[in-house]
Structures are given as structure tokens and as C-alpha cells.
Amino acid sequence: MPVPTSLNEQQALAFQTVINYFLPAQTRSSSFFFLHGHGGTGKTFLYRTILGHLKELGKIVLVVASSGIAATLLPNATIAHSRFKIPLEIDHGSSCNIKKGTPLAELIIGASLIIWDEAPMVHRLSFEAVDRAFCDIMKVPLTGDQYIPFGGKTVLLGGDFRQTLPIVADAGREESVDASLTRSYLWPLCTVLHLSQNMRVTSDAANQRQIFDGQNFAEWTLSVGDGIVRAKSFVENQPTDWIEIPESSMIQSTDAPIEKMTSEIYSDFSQRFHSASYLTERSNVTPTNINVTEINTHMLSLVQGPIRTYFSSDTLHTDATDAGRIETKYPTEFLNTLSFNGYPEHQIDLKVFTPVMLLRNLNPAIGLCNGTRLMIVFLGHYVIKGLIMGGTFNGKTVAIPRVVLNINDSRWPFVLKRRQFPVRLCYAMTINKSQGQTLQSVGIYLPKPVFNHGQLYVAVSRVRTAAGLRFLIVNEPNIPSNYTRNIVYHEAFSCLRNTAELTAPPL
């Protein structure tokens, strides 16, 4: 099959390698691939090209993504966890809840290719559970010489290991790296396909200007991700990972850093606070939810118009034998004070024209995913309405209902049932939540440095141009305010470097 001329050299090689598996009688060493490339290298473009070609050949392709936002960028994509029924509570022996003979099992048997985008975000145990389920469906033994990964299905995973690793509660460096796909028994069985040419920013003349240390913006961003920017240590016995931020990107700190930062990112706010395109293009990002809330509260106070407050209904559910005692010990008033990452607050204050982020995958088919941003256009009693900002469904107005969320947090001896609109204001968002968003103007607010692998890289790679990036850093007095930490766990992706040279298989 001819390689499409629209692809660059690396994309063409990857295309050839994958498509080769659909041609008759080839010598096959592996049918499991990982497409590795940083943001803008054309992974999505390549998935679409492969999809188009296999469609022409009449093949079935299942497309999934680890996050709702990534799923909205690919045709007919769904979220991997729901598509493959991956258990939420997972351990080393888990499999997916896919029964033989069901329509889903038949669909998997009939599929020629599985594409899974943003794979590095997902815990390796999830891939291992899918591997077990596929082997079961395909009647392939899990051990011994007959074993083939994913039961012999051709699988193309993709993503960037420079970004944040799977979230593991209270994990240190070792546990975080151990959760990565690169630590799975599956990893040595995959063929890595590399993309490194940035197709998104290279054409932009402004980005070709040197911004720092002889590098242009795309190169600098990538060196941040690779953890190869020159770094210092300011605290004895602490890691040498403090890097200098280009002067041109700095906002000087003041006594009122939030006001200073937001007035730069949301310039002309009083005139433009109701413009969806203005809100779509910008956001502040910061490592923790506490600072996100501070920024959002400040911005809400600047919006003209009345506030509408929505309170959740909170109840608790427990199977414990002393359920009565637990209910007495944790009254509703106490439950209302609890906050959980990724869940709505008990009290949500909103105004028309405020931007919110959806916290649940309500209906990915119409763009309502965990991470979708919307501008509020209607605040009713039973329903709120928003205009989707960004992505494939940009500009669509949708209704958001109240939903019941079961919050199972190991710190508490109960499951909290919270009935609330699954939204949070998003003039600012955590760096982890910003993964997958593309913006024109981003203010990175660091009242404390980042605390995890890939966070600084995710933050700086949200924008397409150096001009769109602003930092406000508040450091201890002994550390200059143009330095911040760049945490990179090299061991999470060092195994990828040795596979950079891939030779094209014979066609």
C-alpha cells in the first residue's frame, strides 16, 4: 500500500510499520506498538491517517483514549476504562469484566486494530488487565510459548512519557515510576515508533527566535520535558532540579501575586468577561487545588451580575456493622465540609458567563467529558447550561444536570454520596487537569514549586508560542524568583531512548 505523501518521514515509517500487519504473509515480530512523541508531533494526525486507510480496506478499528478530552479529538473514540470495562479497584491479577460471547467480546474479536491514545496516564495494571481479558477472549494462554500480548490483537498505544505519570495516592518517586507502562511485563514486547518533528510550532516564525540558552521555544519546552535544562540546587542535600525561567516569560512577584497574575492573563477582563473566545484561549495553572480556588474566587468577584449558589445534598453509605455510630459521628454538616480532588464542592458559586470545567464523563459523544470547559449561559434550579469551549464541539450549548457521585476515599470509613452539579470554576486549573488542553495564553502560578514528574513540562507545553507563556514564581527568600523546580523521573522513560532508531520492515 502506498504511504500517503502528506506524512513526514517519521510518520511514514510508523504508518508503514503498522499497516504492514494488515498485508498478507509478513514476518511478524510484534503486533504491539507504542507511538511516542511529544505534543504537536502529529500523533493524532497519524492515527487519523491509519484509520482512514483501514476503513478503506473495510477493517474495524477500535479507538480509545485514557482521558475524555483526548477521546474528543479522535473520530468515534471512547474512554478506555468504559470501553474495556477495566475495574476501578485493580490489582496484579485483575482482568476486565468482558464476558465471552457478548457483543463487546465479538467486537474485540472482529477488530483489526486497537488505538489507545494518552496511554502513559494509565496505570500499568490497567493494560495488564486488558491483556488478560483479550487473551481470554482470543483463547490465547497467558503464559508459555503460545502467549502473545493482547491475545494477538494489533494494538497501537500512544502518548508522551514526559507528561505526568498515573496518579497513585500518596505515592513517592518509586511507586509513581512503578505504575508506569514502561514497568509492565508488556513493555519489552512492544515496538516503539518515534515522532520528534514538531508539526504544530515549527511554522511559527515567532517561535523560531531564541528564547533562552540558544534554544527556540519548541526546543526549550522539550528540554524541560526531557529534564536536560541546566539545573541548580539551592538547598543542601536536595535534588539539583531548579531551572532558570526565561526572563521574557516572567511576571515580577508583588504582595498581591494573584491579582498581578490574573490581570496579565485576563487583561481587559471587565470588557471581555462574557466573551467565550476570550475565555477559551486562556487560563491560569498551578500545582494545587488550594491556589486554584484562590484564583477562581478572585476572578468570580470581578464578574458583573448576581451569584447563584448551589449546595450539594450529602449522605453517607456504609456497610459497617456499627453504621448507626458512624452516621452519628459524621453528621451532614460535617460531610458538607469535605473536599475531594476531582469532585465538586458542597457549595458552588456561579455567575452567568463564568467558565467551568466538567468533572465527569457525562456524555463523551456530545463532548461532555471530564475536563471539558464550558462558559455558563443559564443557571436554573434543576439544570445549568453551558457553551462548550474548545475541541471538536466548540460553541455547542449543552445542559448539565445534577448527578449523584459516590466518593470512596480511604481516609473515611464510608462512601459519601454527593448530589451536585459536576463542575468547578476554571479561570484556573491544576496543572494535572490542564493536560490535554491547548491554549493561547497560560499563566503558570507557582507559590510553591511543582511536586511531581512532568508537571512543569505539562504546564509549559499547553501553549503554542513563547509569547503565550507567563510565570509568576514565589520562592523562599534564599532562592531567586526566576528559578523553579523541574521534576523529571528519567527512569520512567529512559528505556525509550535505546529504541530511537527503527528500521522499516519490508513491505
Q: H helices then E strands: how many in the chain? A: 18, 25
- Look up residue 363 and give its DSSP letter: B
Q: Which is nearer to ligand ATP, 120 or 344 (CB)?
A: 120
Cα–Cα dist 491/494, whole Å: 5
**For residue 283, which phi and psi values (nearest 5 degrees)?**
-170, 165
Facing residues of 389 across strands? 373
* Nearest distance in Å: CB 163, ligand ATP: 9
* Nearest distance in Å: CB 275, ligand ATP: 24
* Nearest distance in Å: CB 35, ligand ATP: 9
How far apart are the two ends of the chain, measured CA to CA in Å?
8
* Nearest distance in Å: CB 424, ligand ATP: 23
Q: Which is nearer to ligand ATP, 81 or 162 (CB)?
A: 162
C-alpha cell at 271: 470588557
Facing residues of 113 across strands? 61, 154
Q: Which is nearer to ligand ATP, 39 or 367 (CB)?
A: 39
Contact yes or no for 234/479 (Cβ under 8 A): yes
Q: Which is nearer to ligand ATP, 42 or 364 (CB)?
A: 42
Q: Helix (H, G, I), strand (E, B), or coil: what is residue 500?
A: coil
* 25 φψ region: left (φ > 0), alpha (ψ -120 to 50), beta (else): left
Q: Which residues bind ligand ATP (CB under 6 A)?
A: 6-8, 11, 37, 39-45, 199-200
Q: Which is nearer to ligand ATP, 73 or 398 (CB)?
A: 73
**For residue 377, which phi and psi values (nearest 5 degrees)?**
-120, -15
- Other residues' Cβ atoms within 10 Å of the Cβ of residue 175: 13
* Nearest distance in Å: CB 49, ligand ATP: 8
Q: Helix (H, G, I), strand (E, B), or coil: what is residue 204?
A: coil
Cα–Cα dist 310/438, whole Å: 30
C-alpha cell at 163: 507528561
Q: Helix (H, G, I), strand (E, B), or coil: what is residue 26?
A: coil
Q: Which is nearer to ligand ATP, 18 or 299 (CB)?
A: 18
Q: Which is nearer to ligand ATP, 282 or 485 (CB)?
A: 282
Radius of gyration of the chain (CA): 24
* Nearest distance in Å: CB 44, ligand ATP: 3
Cα–Cα dist 483/201, whole Å: 25
- Look up residue 140 and give its DSSP letter: -
* Nearest distance in Å: CB 457, ligand ATP: 12
Nearest one of 52, 201, 242, 37 to 119, comparing CA atoms = 37
* Nearest distance in Å: CB 345, ligand ATP: 30
* Nearest distance in Å: CB 2, ligand ATP: 15
Q: Which is nearer to ligand ATP, 7 or 467 (CB)?
A: 7
* Nearest distance in Å: CB 242, ligand ATP: 27
* Nearest distance in Å: CB 47, ligand ATP: 8
Element (H, E) at 424: strand 423-425
Distances in Å between the Cα of 88 and the Cα atoms of 13, 119, 158, 472 are 36, 16, 22, 37
Element (H, E) at 258: helix 257-265
* Nearest distance in Å: CB 74, ligand ATP: 9
**For residue 74, which phi and psi values (nearest 5 degrees)?**
-120, 145
- What amino acid occupies position 341? N
Cα–Cα dist 275/393, whole Å: 17
Q: Tell me how far apart the 2 most distant CA atoms of the chain are, in Å.
A: 70
Q: Which is nearer to ligand ATP, 39 or 386 (CB)?
A: 39
Q: Which is nearer to ligand ATP, 40 or 68 (CB)?
A: 40
